[in-house]
Amino acid sequence: MSLQLKPLHPVFVAEASGLDLTQPLADRDVRAINAAMNEYGVLVWRGQPLTAQQQIDFAKHFGPLDIGLKRVFKRPERLPDERLIDISNVDAQGNVARRDSPKNLSNFANQLWHSDSSFMDPRAAYSMLHCVVKPSWGGDTEFADLRNAYDTLDERTKAEIQDLKAEHFALHTRILLGDDAYTDEQKKEIPPAVWPIADTHRGSGRKVLFVGVHARQILGWPTAESRVYLLDLLEHATRRENVYTHKWEIGDLVIWDNRSTLHRGRRYDISERRELRRTTVNDTPEAMLLAA
């Protein structure tokens, strides 16, 4: 079979079917998925019972995998491969984590609008999240389209941001949430990355309003002014008409492009298990060759 697509939102997101992601993909299928990602930004796959290794193998079709913030935290992990990012409230011993645990701090940070690894250079290209266990309520994931966000800016704002750049810092969200006990070595592990606010998405050639909660400073602006302005831009990017909400079912795999979308998790009962596995590939020259 070949890739089939059904739009799920007026401006982005499609449900994808027709391929078995548990099996190796042909080159034509990889190119078809890349083309669909360039058009829709987010693809939703239902009923894909991927093992951990199958998820890694699938992700490797699209570029080199990255471990993101694991470079900073270096905590014991319950998943066997460090390239699998454990998006769960389960500790290294397999128990539901304490409410005030570092694990749940990460979960709360994930409830802020962000793009994965925007604080790195190279930044993340695709992230792929697979649902293993879901809670009885909540725990949805929301996505916002940054290309449509740019398109719907007024002309004055487009002109104002044209040459602005913002610094993205790995620990900004954690410090924002009250966790500031980081050593100088940890803070230096992932140096801040700088990206244009009016960026261009290479896959589609469309302009992007590249904002998110990792952005902490507009270069050359006073801190207070830049943070308020970045919040204004983020509010515009995440207007409800620009947002798709994914309600998880076990076996779902959602792929999104971090260069053209934002996402955030939603609240759930953290005394119930919620387990998802994420793989992320970097926006590198190798990834661009695979996407061609």
Query: What pLDDT score was predicted for residue 289?
Result: 47
In the chain the first and final C-alpha atoms are separated, in Å, by 21
Beta bridge partners of 275: 88, 133
Instruction: Assign a CATH topology to domain 4-291.
Output: Double-stranded beta-helix (3.60.130)
Reported as a single tens digit per residue, the pLDDT across 57-113 is 999 999 999 987 766 666 777 888 889 999 999 998 999 999 999 889 889 999 999
Share of the chain above pLDDT 90, in %: 81
Full-prediction pTM beyond 0.85?
yes
Q: At which residue do the structure tokens 């894909």 appear?
A: 48
The answer to whether the beta carbons of residues 43 and 19 sit under 8 Å apart is: no
Say if residue 181's pLDDT is above 80. Answer: no
Please report, for the chain, the start and end positions of each structural domain, with discontinuous segments joined by +. Answer: 4-291
pLDDT digit string, tens, across residues 204-232: 999 999 999 999 999 999 999 999 999 99
> How large is the average pLDDT for residues 131-137?
98
Calculate mean pLDDT across residues 54-58: 97
pLDDT of residue 73: 67
Distances (CA, A) of 43 to 223, 246, 292: 36, 11, 18
Here the tokens at position 221 are: 């602006």
